[in-house]
């Protein structure tokens, strides 16, 4: 939901940016590693290739900083203008947090910086968190980054999971404005710990973690059941209908999930942003990477109405409705 108290400040969306590793791993490449093929992967997921980290230059911190630099430049600001950096990631370079490293690389010396862990819902949860600091007047300029390097935790012999994930980062700059100019119109967040065991990277002891494990069928059922409901809630709080939207940007997990949500709402499939064919599932980075790609292509323009929805491990899921600009 969203607090409609008129004394609260508004939130503007000033700029976006993204970054992905140079190395591309195609379905054909994967077919040389495990028992799979391009047709099997693409028909079940919509994914044909993904970008994979290759060395320290592709750390979470470096990818996040590159995306952040682009977003800050697109916003017409400089790093010293940033008051807060929220890094949504589940694959931190450091268990104590990576946002401080991003702050250092950017030279954003005035900014408070911290990590937020909510897996594939991380960008949505980060957006809602950032908005609370802005609307209460604590911070004016916030850099929100979603970044993950999931390839670190993939078992490349497990064809059920290794076909899905890629690496990357996406970012937006948010700024406080007058209540009348508020562009964050509604949101909803949910969690259900009873499904926690459906998607994990578990600690094994002695400073080691397991690879990604996932019950794909159950996660799919959860997503197609819960995502439309949470979008409807966000639209309700925004006093909007689904057909008012210019764009729908879901977490890029599986094309079948996007298709199911589109069919549920009966909207034009062209409104549903999809770029997982090029990037795969980049967790907290997937929504901002897709958003930035459509902004850079001039598809998303000022005042367009956008609904986003993230969903994944936790289980967690959430949605937000906003006007770009």
- Return the number of other C-beta atoms located less than 10 Å from residue 11's C-beta: 25
For 255, the token pair is 């094309």
Q: Sign of the CA dihedral 147, 209, 30, 59?
A: positive
Residue 162 catalytic? no
Strand-pair partners of 249 = 308
Catalytic residue among 51, 141, 162, 251: 251
Q: Which candidate in 27, 51, 62, 120 is catalytic?
A: 120
Q: Which residues are 24's β-sheet partners?
A: 51
User: 8 vs 38, 240, 312, CA distance in Å?
Assistant: 51, 21, 31
Measured in whole angstroms, the distance separating CA 249 from the mean position of its chain's CA atoms is 10
- Kindly list the strands in the beta sheet with 247-250, ordered across the sheet, starting from the edge strand earlier in the chain: 184-191, 316-323, 305-312, 247-250
Alpha carbon distance 66, 71 (integer Å): 9
The rounded distance, in Å, linking the Cα atoms of 168 and 309 is 18
- Whole-angstrom distance, CA of residue 184 vs CA of residue 191: 21
Q: What is the DSSP letter of 284?
A: G
| Active site annotation includes 292 | no
DSSP letter at 115 equals E
Nearest to 174 by CA among 90, 288, 271: 288
CB atoms within 10 A of CB 43: 11
What are the catalytic residues?
120, 251, 281
């Amino acid at each position: 939901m969203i607090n409609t108290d008129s004394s609260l400040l508004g939130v503007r969306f000033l700029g976006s940016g993204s970054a992905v590793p140079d190395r591309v791993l195609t379905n054909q490449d994967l077919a040389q590693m495990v028992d799979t093929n391009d047709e099997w992967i693409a028909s079940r997921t919509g994914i044909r290739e993904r970008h994979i980290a290759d060395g320290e230059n592709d750390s979470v911190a470096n990818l996040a900083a590159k995306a952040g630099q682009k977003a800050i430049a697109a916003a017409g600001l400089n790093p010293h203008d940033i008051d807060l950096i929220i890094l949504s990631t589940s694959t931190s370079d450091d268990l104590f947090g990576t946002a401080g490293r991003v702050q250092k690389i950017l030279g954003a010396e005035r900014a408070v910086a911290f990590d937020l862990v909510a897996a594939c819902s991380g960008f949505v949860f980060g957006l809602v968190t950032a908005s609370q600091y802005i609307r209460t007047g604590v911070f004016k300029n916030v850099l929100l980054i979603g970044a993950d390097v999931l390839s670190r935790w993939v078992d490349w012999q497990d064809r059920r999971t290794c076909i899905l994930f890629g690496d990357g980062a996406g970012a937006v700059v948010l700024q406080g404005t007058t209540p009348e100019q508020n562009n964050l119109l509604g949101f909803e967040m949910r969690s259900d710990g009873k499904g926690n065991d459906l998607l994990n990277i578990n600690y094994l002891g002695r400073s080691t973690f397991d690879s990604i494990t996932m019950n794909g069928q159950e996660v799919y059922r959860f997503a197609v059941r819960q995502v439309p409901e949470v979008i409807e809630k966000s639209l309700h709080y925004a006093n909007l209908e689904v057909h008012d939207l210019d764009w729908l940007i879901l977490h890029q997990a599986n094309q079948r999930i996007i298709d199911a949500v589109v069919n549920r709402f009966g909207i034009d499939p062209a409104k549903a942003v999809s770029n997982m064919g090029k990037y795969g599932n980049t967790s907290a980075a997937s929504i901002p990477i897709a958003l930035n790609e459509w902004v850079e292509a001039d598809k998303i323009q000022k005042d367009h109405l956008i609904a986003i929805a993230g969903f994944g491990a936790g289980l967690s899921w959430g949605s937000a409705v906003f006007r770009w600009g």
